[in-house]
Amino acid sequence: MAHELPPLTYDYAALEPTIDAATMRLHHDKHHQAYVTYLNAAIDKHPELAAKAAWELLLDINALPEDVRTPIRNNGGGHVNHTMFWEIMKPNGGGAPTGAFGEQVAKDFGSFDEFKKLFNDAGLKQFGSGWAWVVFDNGKLRILATANQDSPISLGFFPILGNDVWEHAYYLNYQNRRADYLAAWWNVINWDEINKRFEKAKKVKK
């Protein structure tokens, strides 16, 4: 079955003022849709890949047929990354991290402020397009950044959370002020969903 754009579970305007409706509409309906469209185009050339979930395609990029390796890395990554992105945000989100994830943040970083500072810094320093991520590495939370749509899944990690620092994610509202976008983004974070992802991340061996 072809890959499909997952519908947003909240209104385009629901994350305002942190993320404006015009950005959400473009980002979800145009950018994410394009990743899905081009992923399906790549799969059409290799029907043997059709049964795999998008995230499974990212587990071993080098094992993919050469002619679709880069398209799947970029568009499969784009599809999986954005599917997570919509889910880890919600209207009236934010606040301090809750549950087991909140405890792990305190344990590994001392405070939520320090964790945010290091994460925002990773996003700010990512040159050009990419993502800042939190993964679980050897029993500890770890912050990293990737270029383009490269997924932590290809590095052996299940991404607990990630923020999109491509200009399309913030430029309409924040223009060149990526740091302001990174700082504001925590106001729409969905800690319940992140706790669910944290449980999954713990089950990945690494």
Binding site for Mn ion (CB under 5 A): 164, 166, 169
Residues in the chain: 206
Nearer to Mn ion, 150 or 164 (CB): 164
Contacts 24+ apart (CB under 8 A), 98-104: 98/191, 98/192, 98/195, 99/191, 99/192, 99/195, 99/198, 100/195, 100/198, 100/199, 101/160, 101/191, 101/194, 101/195, 101/198, 102/191, 104/141, 104/198
The conformation of residue 7, written as its DSSP 8-state character, comes to: P
Please state the closest distance from residue 112 (CB atom) to Mn ion, in A.
25
Please state the closest distance from residue 154 (CB atom) to Mn ion, in A.
17
Nearer to Mn ion, 104 or 126 (CB): 126
Please state the closest distance from residue 11 (CB atom) to Mn ion, in A.
19
Closest-by-Cβ residue to Mn ion is 164
Please state the closest distance from residue 85 (CB atom) to Mn ion, in A.
7
Nearer to Mn ion, 27 or 90 (CB): 27
Nearer to Mn ion, 136 or 150 (CB): 150
